[in-house]
């Protein structure tokens, strides 16, 4: 009897364990999130908003830990009565095991989102993401694609190489770093990105309409009362023209890229009759040298320094303050991460060993001389986001308090009033600043990790008016969700956050409108586009920083004296850029590596041409490579040549990065070919010139 009872108990326990893990998902066209991190609930919230207009969708969560019932309890607590018609399914399992992938029906999913482990080493986290992609690639076929979060920008090319056309990569630290740099140089910009990223409010959409065929881009602005046209995309969304020329004609089948509330809220209407008027003529602004303060140490601080070097004027300087890294180790660490100080053209770096939450230490800095201040979460606090946010807020309030005290001392120095009266004057000025949420002269941008901290800041006018805030976890979750819903958004985000492309700017209205001049949004938008070459997307109140993107009252004539304008500024790099070029080359190289009769890229140019003409399969493969070689990203090849070859061929495997350990022999062959591609580019182009008269289609495309 005891034996029978023991068997029954074991069977019941096994069934209970199966119930905890969950049954196999039978859905189709669902979204999968792999991993349960601080960003997972934020991504879920964005997907719920995105699916609301379609009546809801199915979101599947798969994580190894915590247990299924714990995750379900957290979801129930956070999203009770806020599912917006969607269903959330939770399963326990590993994305590196084939049977667990089949359990959540990865092959039938619309999109799979791989969240990176925020704890531990970035290379190890990216290595885990790489192994997940290799496992997913072993499936026979995928209906959708994969969006993977990468923590280190140096690891992105290999992940993209392994994933091929099925993967979109989001480098979380790099995106936040670039956004903070841009926001520190343009106060109010972080609020603009908070408005256009995610699905709460206005975001990016692509749609085609027969009414826009043959219409110039400059005339599209007056045809969409409920959207802001910002570019044009090909029918397959692989080629994008962001902020094209005013006279660029929309071709049949092409789509318009807009900022709108939802994909069903805009359509072309009869064009508004917009009068053309002249903008005021102002002298051009001259760029000045900058003194920038960094508080805290991020793991990717090197990339931020390089990004700033491309933006600032020569002779600028960065003061780097932290006590997390000893002074003697900083330059060595930066150099080991790839920063060559001799390559910096415009900026120099000075180090200070200062705990930025200690007043007497911070008071030693020339706070009134800084042109901008960036406050980062210290790398040592990454595992505790509340402690990290507390340190950031303490640093911000301390800096602002010292600045206010020094401003008061200046008033006391220059005034002829007695001390008591001068103090009242200074306090009155400060009280007025707080009331209208004006920041002191030096702009500050802070990175916040926890959404609860952001809610606290927004409820406190004193703190909210002291700085711009970049809520990194929420912004990355918004980017992940947007790319998962529309892959073309990835190109737009890369462009908008680049140092030398088109990006959002918050500009003084006085540069476009004379004081007291009355215009509606259409008239002002026409002036911006035709006279300044900029697309007007919204405005921001200068007294409280409330940001309005894609205003609904575009016909209302009004004064713009108390507003700043939000525009798309700069020369776009996206002028028909084809996102498929690199993927086509990678696919061709993979196919070439698997053919025994392939023509080696190591061969000289004429030999490769002769062999290509006699071998039909190889000719087809090399045709694909040659056709797209000129537009392959050269930084990918440089990275592969300098890092992969050095590590994959080393004999001392103890020093090999975890990222390259799971590579199989077939992928090594692809890397061997890629390492020689740079040397092949010039030979292919030379052959193109020699064979131009022979009408060889492969080479004429170059």
Q: Sorting pLDDT into bands at 50, 70 and 90, what band is 346?
A: very high
pLDDT surpasses 90 at 374? yes
State pLDDT tens for residues 667-690: 444 445 544 544 444 454 454 445
Q: What is the pLDDT at residue 60?
A: 96
Return the H-helix or E-strand segment holding 540: strand 535-541
Dist. CA 615–CA 597, nearest whole Å: 8
Strand duo 203-207 + 503-508: pairing: unpaired
What value does the mean pLDDT of the chain take?
78
State pLDDT tens for residues 28-39: 999 999 999 989
**Which is more confident, 656 or 384?**
384
What is the DSSP track for 147-178? Answer: EEEES-GGGHHHHHHHHGGGEEEEEHHHHHHH
Q: Tokens representing 668? A: 């090594």
Q: What is the pLDDT at residue 331?
A: 87
Q: What is the pLDDT at residue 11?
A: 59
> Could you give phi then psi for residue 149, rounded to 5 degrees?
-85, 125
460 exposed, middle or buried (CB, 10 Å; 0-12, 13-18, 19+)?
exposed
Mean pLDDT of 125-134: 89
> Could you give phi then psi for residue 204, rounded to 5 degrees?
-85, 140
State pLDDT tens for residues 392-424: 999 999 998 898 888 777 666 655 555 666 566
Closest CA to 107 of 137, 147, 132: 137
Mean pLDDT of 537-555: 89
Can the peptide bond before residue 66 be classed as cis, meaning omega within 30 degrees of 0? yes
Distances (CA, A) of 681 to 306, 513, 602, 643, 644: 28, 50, 12, 20, 20
State pLDDT tens for residues 579-621: 444 444 445 444 444 443 333 434 444 454 444 444 444 444 4
Mean pLDDT of 501-527: 90
Q: What is the pLDDT at residue 260?
A: 93
């Amino acid at each position: 009897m005891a034996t029978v009872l023991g068997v029954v108990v074991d069977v019941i326990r096994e069934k209970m364990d199966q119930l905890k893990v969950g049954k196999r998902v039978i859905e189709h066209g669902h979204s999968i999130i792999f991993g349960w991190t601080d960003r997972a609930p934020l991504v879920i919230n964005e997907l719920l908003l995105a699916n609301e207009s379609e009546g809801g969708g199915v979101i599947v969560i798969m994580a190894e830990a915590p247990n299924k019932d714990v995750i379900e309890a957290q979801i129930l607590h956070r999203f009770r009565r806020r599912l917006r018609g969607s269903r959330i399914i939770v399963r326990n399992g590993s994305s590196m095991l084939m049977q667990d992938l089949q359990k959540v029906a990865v092959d039938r999913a619309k999109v799979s989102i791989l969240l990176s482990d925020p704890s531990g080493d970035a290379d190890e986290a990216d290595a885990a993401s790489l192994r997940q992609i290799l496992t997913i690639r072993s499936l026979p076929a995928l209906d959708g694609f994969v969006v993977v979060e990468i923590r280190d920008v140096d690891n992105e090319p290999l992940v993209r190489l392994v994933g091929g056309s099925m993967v979109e990569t989001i480098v979380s630290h790099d995106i936040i770093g670039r956004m903070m740099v841009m926001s520190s140089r343009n106060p109010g910009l972080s609020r603009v990105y908070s408005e256009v990223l995610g699905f709460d409010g206005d975001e990016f959409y692509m749609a085609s309409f027969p009414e826009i065929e043959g219409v110039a881009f400059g005339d599209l602005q007056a045809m969409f009362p409920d959207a802001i046209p910002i570019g044009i995309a090909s029918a397959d969304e692989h080629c994008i023209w962001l902020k094209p020329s005013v006279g660029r004609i929309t071709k049949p089948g092409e789509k318009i890229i807009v900022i709108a509330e939802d994909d069903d809220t805009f359509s072309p209407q009869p064009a508004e009759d917009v009068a053309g008027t002249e903008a005021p003529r102002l002298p051009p602004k001259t760029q000045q040298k900058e003194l920038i303060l960094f508080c805290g140490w991020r793991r990717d601080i090197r990339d931020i320094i390089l990004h700033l070097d491309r933006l600032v004027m020569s002779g600028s300087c960065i003061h780097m303050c932290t006590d997390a890294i000893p002074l003697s180790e900083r330059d060595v660490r930066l150099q080991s991460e790839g920063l060559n100080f001799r390559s910096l053209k415009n900026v120099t770096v000075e180090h200070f060993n200062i705990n930025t939450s200690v007043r007497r230490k911070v008071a030693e800095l020339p706070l009134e001389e800084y042109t901008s201040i960036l406050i980062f979460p210290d790398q040592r606090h990454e595992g505790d986001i509340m402690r990290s946010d507390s340190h950031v807020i303490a640093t911000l309030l301390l800096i602002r308090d010292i600045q206010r005290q020094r401003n008061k001392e200046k008033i006391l120095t220059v005034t002829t009033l007695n001390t008591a009266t001068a103090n009242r004057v200074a306090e009155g000025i400060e009280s007025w600043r707080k009331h209208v949420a004006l920041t002191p002269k030096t702009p500050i941008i802070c990175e916040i990790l926890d959404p609860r901290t952001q809610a606290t800041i927004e409820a406190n006018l004193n703190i909210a008016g002291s700085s711009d805030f970049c809520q990194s976890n929420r912004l990355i979750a918004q980017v992940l969700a947007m790319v998962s819903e529309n892959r073309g958004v990835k190109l737009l985000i890369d462009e908008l956050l680049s140092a030398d492309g088109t990006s959002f700017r918050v500009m003084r209205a006085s540069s476009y409108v004379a004081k007291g001049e009355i215009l509606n949004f259409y008239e002002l938008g026409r002036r911006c586009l035709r006279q300044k070459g900029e697309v007007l997307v919204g405005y921001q109140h200068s007294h409280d920083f409330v940001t309005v993107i894609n205003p609904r009252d575009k016909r209302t004539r009004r004064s713009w004296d108390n507003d700043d304008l939000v525009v798309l500024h700069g020369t776009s790099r996206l002028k028909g850029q084809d996102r498929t070029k690199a993927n086509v080359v990678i696919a061709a190289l993979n196919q070439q590596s698997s053919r025994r009769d392939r023509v080696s890229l190591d061969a000289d140019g004429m030999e490769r041409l002769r062999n290509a003409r006699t071998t039909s399969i190889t000719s087809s493969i090399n045709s694909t490579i040659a056709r797209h070689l000129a537009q392959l990203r050269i930084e990918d090849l440089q990275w592969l040549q300098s890092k992969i070859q050095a590590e994959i061929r080393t004999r001392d495997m103890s020093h090999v990065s975890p990222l390259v350990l799971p590579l199989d022999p077939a992928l090594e062959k692809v890397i061997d070919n890629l390492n020689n591609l740079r040397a092949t580019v010039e030979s292919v182009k030379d052959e193109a010139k020699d064979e131009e008269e022979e009408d060889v289609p492969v080479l004429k495309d170059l």
